[in-house]
Structure 1
């Protein structure tokens, strides 16, 4: 472990100046990051090239970046001066640090999304195994949005930029743009009708690409031009593009328009994560802004289980009220605390009640269904329940209840409505209302990651860059939370846990003696 090297330097005495309750000192003493070296061992060559910086050091430098919202250059600068940073990194005060460019190379060549997932999982697992967290039974899920690191362009502007890029690469690779190709890009701003403006730019771009292909050999001598034309065609072939629901910037091709509410939207990405009620994030998934909440639910659930969490209750908002999700929660023996969604469950409970044992619906006038028909069309499945006709014939509410030529009432419900009825009744209980209040902790975590750790805006471009940012942010806030939990414990518990962790992290015997004295 890196911390062993601190004992070899005379200057390591300076670390005694760091307060015992400092966030980085607490985290470093209680969380063992040595597993990272084994995790990334296969991504390095042992026999060729210069020795690589230890992966544990690079991961810790990345954690510092997102913990304190620093750039690559700034984190190296701060870590060269700040004793707490050095202690956390496991280096001696006189040791040198890698060049900032190595952090970029590390993220690009060594660090894959799944690796960060495994780091998050292992850190939470250590906390569970050593009893740092107690409230592990309840798990919440939520999604937060992040604005893209570029502005949202209109389709007309995107097509103009694509045309300019084609001309740029063509000049670089061909020396000039052939005369047959019209370089005068239409001024779409002068066209008042937006639909006409889009069609004008689309026709111009398609004509330009065709003429470039006819007059230039693109196979080998013009790779960049060919790549840009292929990209332009891919964008134009997307039916969502002209409807302003597809690509909105060629700087960031992965970002998409998403919706916060019915009237507010954003342009960027969504981060979906699960969290235990001790405020530790257990799993993270990152997608573009058009992502539908809950699509990766099973993945997040499985990652949470890997942390050693025994889930007894699962909390989410209405977006997660779907049969597949409810079945997954029930499948792991947990109780779902998710409000009924009107989109999934449409029934007027003031007029109808349901008996699941007899599979019958009852109306307010005492009538009940006598038979059921399974209706299946190309796009939808439903049940049609038929009420007793004679009682409907003499019902005083007949005129407002039955339309058309039907004699008896026909109640058509979704395929999952009978099952959802039971959930709707459970949610009327006081027990559900009190438990559901626990989900509010998720909102505070959203605000913390955005306001203090930069998750409100993407640092780079593309889905992979956003995934790295979101997952390191989750890891950083987890470590901060661990430090808070440890510092809030009483003195006896603190010394006892410190002794246990010092041994489990293989500290030297001299270090153990110091801990006993302290």
Structure 2
């Protein structure tokens, strides 16, 4: 028997509780367990006036922003619509059925003022990270570092030739932020090479073809990850240049040491972090074992002897060539021995005697076009040797496999957190977006790995 047609009957009174409506195993309940926003209002107190109309609760706006990243909602306009109709979202944001949802324009107004000036997003990230440490998800012994390209929110076909420069009358917020980062080693000061094009809407974004395809404007998001449970311990934006990404890694290690008193025993990374300066900083200044391939271009491809064919003797600070002759930094006998120092490029030069090379039968295989052979050694060569020795161990192979955890976080960032391209513009927009995204990833990991406490009785 077919039942009667269902017709909605409006009732005069309802007895309804959002708390009872949201299931106990809903993902947002797990995230809410670890979200502590008790410090938001004191942190922003100085940014609000003591008189005037009451503002929207800043905790509500932060909850809505984190909700958007946790659920992969890219548009703030759509976020407001979803919170309006979704009861679970209303519960997470502490809104009742009749409470109004803030307008989407409210986020932009507060983002460019109170939130960024107060360092709120960094505070939120570190608060969640502290909870990860408390729950045992961060061991602090082995860290992995990597960077991923994020296309900028800019038209890739409307770049300005860098020779022409930006228009003199172009004065916008992102241009001011770009000028502020010209001396930052993670942005403008990372290289002297001028990019081919500059974006007028986001000049801090770098024109790059680092992914091997067509060039485009992009930023790099840099993650420092604890390899025990793939928890993000720090995040830093930069331009997609190898030196900038290495500097961002150093900045993150220093910040983790200062804020949480954690210095890893080893750092795992790819060849982009294997420069002599980076390895020297890790080994000589921080005492961190570099599980990183060495960036080395000393291998010759013309059939002549490479630097690895020469044997270095640290006792005499000299090299011995395949013909048994000695290469030294100085050929004169000084009354006071001099210690060789690297030049401006960071290399020490060892030279063979022209007389020895002229009489050597191996000269065609060694230096056929030069009067004498010269070998260059980095001032950080000892640290590079440490990295080479580590690469021969089984522990390095384990680290090589663990490094994939960082790459998986980038895939999660682009697919589930909803950051395949930049939403915001400018360096400060990159800071906000990457910090909120990393905070959301850590919250999701806490909700997944830390079990819900069982009720007693």
**What TM-score do the two structures reach when normalised by structure 2?**
0.76
Question: What are the residue-to-residue correspondences of 1:63-78 with 2, within 5 Å?
Answer: 63-70=66-73, 71-78=75-82
Give the C-alpha shift of residue 120 in structure 1.
0.8
Against the structure 1 CA distance between its residues 388 and 112, is the aligned structure 2 distance closer, same or farther, given a 3 Å change threshold?
Answer: same
Tell me the residue number matched to 2:9. Answer: none
Question: Does residue 289 of structure 2 align to residue 335 of structure 1?
Answer: yes
Alpha-carbon distance in structure 2 between the residues aligned to 1:152 and 1:14: 46
Moved more, 389-398 or 272-281: 389-398
Aligned equivalents of 1:403, 1:24: Cα separation in 2? 70
* Counterparts of 2:299 and 2:140, CA distance in 1: 31
Q: Deviations over 1:266-299 (max 9, x none)?
A: 3122212211122222222223445732223332
Instruction: Tell me which of 133, 136, 141 is aligned to 1:137.
Output: 141
Equivalent residues of 2:66, 2:436 under 8 A apart: yes
8 Å CA contact 1:149, 1:457 repeated in 2: yes
1:339 to partner: Cα distance: 0.9
**1:115 aligned to 2:103?**
no
User: Which deviations, in whole Å up to 9, do the C-alpha atoms of 1:140-188 show, x marking residues without a partner?
Assistant: 1111111122322366xx48xxxxxxxxxxxxxxxxxxxxxxxxxxxxx
Structure 1 residue 341: Cα displacement: 0.6
User: 1:251 aligns to what?
Assistant: 201
Match of 1:458 among 415, 422, 437: 422
Q: Structure 1 420/153 Cα, relative in aligned 2: closer, same or farther at 3 Å?
A: same
Deviation at 1:61, TM superposition (A): 0.7
In angstroms, what is the RMSD of aligned CA positions?
Answer: 3.8
Does the CA contact (< 8 Å) of 1:354 and 1:418 recur in 2? no
Taking the aligned partners of 2:226 and 2:15, their CA distance within structure 1 comes to 40
Q: How many Å separate the matches in 2 of 1:254 and 1:126? A: 33
Q: Give the SS at the match of 2:312.
A: strand
Task: Provide the residue aligned with 1:506 in structure 2.
Answer: none
Distance 1:263 1:343 in 2: 24
How far residue 358 of structure 1 moved from its aligned partner, in angstroms, is 4.8
**Which deviates more from structure 2 when the two are superposed, residues 394-403 or residues 445-454?**
394-403
Asked if 1:380 is matched to 2:345, the reply is: yes
1:30 counterpart = 2:26: no
Instruction: Report the Cα distance in structure 1 between the residues aligned to 2:80 and 2:261, rounded to whole angstroms.
Output: 35
Q: What is the Cα deviation at residue 63 of structure 1? A: 0.6
Instruction: Report what 1:326 is aligned to.
Output: 279
Partner of 2:309: 351
Q: How much does 1:91 deviate?
A: 3.9
Q: Is contact 1:392–1:409 with CA below 8 Å preserved after alignment? A: yes
Alpha-carbon displacement from aligned partner over 1:420-451 (angstroms, at most 9, x marks no partner): 23422332233323323211111111111112
Task: For residue 21 of structure 1, report the CA deviation from its aligned partner.
Answer: 3.2
Change (3 A) 1:412 1:77: closer
CA contact (8 A) 2:342 2:378 kept: no
1:485 deviates by 1.0
SS class of match (1:361): strand
**Is it true that 1:272 corresponds to 2:237 in the alignment?**
no
Deviations 1:226-258 (A, max 9, x none): 969xx9xx99xx9x9x986241x3233332202
> Partners in 1 of 2:432 and 2:171 — Cα distance?
26
Deviation at 1:65, TM superposition (A): 1.4
1:381–1:146 distance in 2 versus 1, CA, 3 Å: closer
Q: Which residue of 1 aligns with 2:441?
A: 477
Alpha carbons of structure 1 residues 485 and 144: separation in structure 2 relative to 1, 3 Å: same
Name 1:516's counterpart in structure 2: 456
TM-score (norm 1): 0.68
Decide whether the 8 Å contact of 1:274 with 1:304 is kept in 2.
no
The corresponding residue for 2:264 is: 311
**3-state secondary structure, aligned to 2:456:** helix
Is the 2:224–2:249 contact (alpha carbons within 8 Å) kept by the matching residues of 1?
no
Cα deviation, 1:65-91, whole Å, max 9, x if unaligned, reads: 122232223222222333332332234
Q: Per the alignment, do residues 390 and 108 of structure 1 end up closer, same or farther by CA in structure 2, a change over 3 Å counting?
A: closer
What is the rounded CA distance, in whole Å, between the counterparts of 1:302 and 1:375 in structure 2? 27
> For residue 58 of structure 2, what is the aligned residue in structure 1?
55
In structure 1, distance between residues paired with 2:33 and 2:90: 13
2:237 aligned counterpart, secondary structure: strand
TM-superposed CA distance for 1:128, in Å, is 0.6
For 1:466-487, what per-residue CA distance to the aligned partner results, in whole angstroms no more than 9, with x for missing partners?
A: 332222111112211111112x
What is the aligned partner in structure 2 of residue 301 from structure 1?
A: 253
Q: Is the 8 A contact 1:266 1:289 kept in 2?
A: no
Distance 1:382 1:345 in 2: 16
CA shift, 1:121, in A, is: 1.3
Mapping of residues 90-105 of structure 1, within 5 Å: 90-105=94-109
Mapped to 1, the partners of 2:138 and 2:389 lie a distance apart of 31
- Aligned to 2:219, what secondary structure does the other structure show? strand
1:402 to 357, 367, 380: 367
Choose 462-471 or 413-422, whichever is displaced more.
Answer: 413-422
- Aligned length in residues: 411
How do 1:70-89 residues align onto structure 2 when only pairs under 5 Å count? 70=73, 71-89=75-93
Structure whose CA Rg is larger = 1
**Shift of residue 107 of structure 1?**
1.2
With over 3 angstroms needed to count, the CA separation of the structure-2 counterparts of 1:284 and 1:431, relative to structure 1, is closer
| Residue 284 (structure 1) aligned to one of 235, 238, 241 | 235
Unaligned stretches of 5+ residues in structure 2: 1-13, 180-187, 332-339
Contact 2:152–2:205 at 8 Å: present in 1 too? yes
